[in-house]
Amino acid sequence: MTQATGDRRAGAARGRPAPARGPGAPARTWSSRLGQWDSAVTSFYVLRGATAILVVLGLVMVLSSSSVESLAADKSPYAEFAKQAQFALVGLPVLWLASRLPLRFYKGIAWWALGGAGVLQLMVLTPLGHAVNGNKNWLPIGPVMIQPSEIGKVALALWLGVVLARKRSLLSDWKHSVIPVLPVAGLLIGLVLLGHDLGTALVLILLVAGAMFIAGVPMRVFGVAGTFAAVAVGFLAATNGNRMARISSWLSDSCDPTKECYQTLHGTWGLATGGWWGLGLGESREKWSYLPEAHNDFIFAIIGEELGLVGTLLVLVLFALLALAMCRVIRNHPDPFVKITTAGIAFWVIGQALINIGVVIGLAPVIGVPLPLVSAGGSALIMTMAALGIVISFARSEPGAAEALAARPGVVRRSLAVLGRSGSARGAGAGTRPGAVRSGTGRR
């Protein structure tokens, strides 16, 4: 070891900055520092980090927004939080397992997953199905209530990836673009609509559109399919009194604030009173039985009221990071199945988030769509975490990502390295104590 190297290491151990680089050493520029953020594992870490923060934020806000209503119902103030925490604890191993499974597994189960999801969705329409707020979209499995349409989102994304990737060279022909994608997807969406859940059906339409767009389906097919979808949605809205009332109140300059406009008005008040920094965590006024579904569809309003504009911008930034990471996977991964499946999941998660936020801020009529990873709801949370786990698995197999992750030291190795450096620093400090005997030059 040279003297200069020893001086630098001893100085670092004692907390002093190391000497400047020599004239021949390359200087660290802003471009080189930014390049570290554009590595092969950027998508992997951004997906994990943004998902974890959104789940934790959701747990905190579910606790804050539901405690008053739970007390009013003679329950524990932690009742909804405890349920959501249990769902999150179930979702964590699901996400971890999904992030570790190889591509061939997802390609192999796509048809079976879609078939199983279709059977479960069909069972909802039988006497076994359960309705909530007019939507018959739940199925009791023992003591647990599941939402098969959430399983259908994941299954449909995987199935679209397999089918469209296999037919990618034939998609210029409209018949191959449409069949079997639109009939099969339309059947699943139709089953959801038979349960009167228009919001979930719209999210499924977004999922299908995103997968078809990235697959390279001609735009003329989008034009025709989009026209049919718009006509169908308009018909379903016009033939339902509740939906028409929501749309009319959204378009009207003056509507009854005690009826149709009540929820939207109180959501806007919650956002408006939050200001820049919010009233403080737990200090919401709208959650005191003023704002319906405060812990679910309108939880974004409570975030704005308690955490202010900063809190709402944080949520937007986190979803933007998820979108950016999934776009990176679509751009970098060589497998068309990965590109198409990731696109479907991205349009689902980000599109659903934008619909929910648009409803809360008044840019869309009230639609029963929760905020992904944040709103209360077990099936939605677990299946969204599973979907993001699948995308994390795809990010692991990006070019260069597997090698970079394999070269990363494990937890045990990092801990031993830290302990070793600490021992070296203590040894260096002991060797330079005043009065210590030094070899050849110490006091006698």
Check residue 243 and give its pLDDT: 78
Give the residue-averaged pLDDT of 267-272: 91
pLDDT for residue 108 is more than 60: yes
The Cα 292–Cα 267 span in angstroms is 9
- Locus of tokens 């190297």: 5
Amino acid (1-letter code) at residue 257: P
- Locus of tokens 């796509």: 110
Q: Which of 50-64, 155-169, 242-256, 336-350 has the lowest mean pLDDT?
A: 242-256
Who's near 291: CB < 8 A, 6+ residues apart? 263, 266, 267, 270, 298, 301, 302
How many Cβ atoms from other residues are within 10 Å of residue 22's Cβ? 7
Who's near 419: CB < 8 A, 6+ residues apart? none
pLDDT in tens, 135-149: 888 998 878 889 999
Q: Which of 30-34, 167-171, 360-364, 406-410 has the lowest mean pLDDT?
A: 30-34
Check residue 429 and give its pLDDT: 52
Give the residue-averaged pLDDT of 47-72: 95
Check residue 382 and give its pLDDT: 96
pLDDT in tens, 319-376: 999 999 999 999 999 999 999 999 999 999 999 999 999 999 988 888 889 999 999 9
Check residue 426 and give its pLDDT: 55
Give the residue-averaged pLDDT of 94-114: 96
Q: Greater confidence, 171 or 28?
A: 171
pLDDT for residue 235 is more than 60: yes
Q: Greater confidence, 85 or 197?
A: 85
The Cα 208–Cα 213 span in angstroms is 9
Share of the chain above pLDDT 70, in %: 83
Closest CA to 148 of 391, 371, 383, 388: 383
Q: Greater confidence, 282 or 429?
A: 282
Check residue 248 and give its pLDDT: 79
Q: Which of 32-41, 211-220, 241-250, 355-364 has the lowest mean pLDDT?
A: 32-41
Who's near 276: CB < 8 A, 6+ residues apart? 308, 309, 310
The Cα 19–Cα 4 span in angstroms is 9
Check residue 365 and give its pLDDT: 87
Share of the chain above pLDDT 90, in %: 56
On whether the CB atoms of residues 208 and 181 are closer than 8 A, the answer is yes
Check residue 440 and give its pLDDT: 44
For residue 129, CA distances in Å to 30, 189, 240, 370, 383 come to 58, 17, 21, 20, 19
Give the residue-averaged pLDDT of 260-272: 87
- Residue 180: is the preceding peptide bond cis (ω within 30°)? yes
Query: Structure pTM?
Result: 0.85
pLDDT in tens, 390-426: 999 999 998 888 888 888 766 445 544 444 555 555 5
Residue 58, both tokens: 């959701």
The Cα 262–Cα 347 span in angstroms is 30
**H or E segment and range at residue 226:** helix 219-238
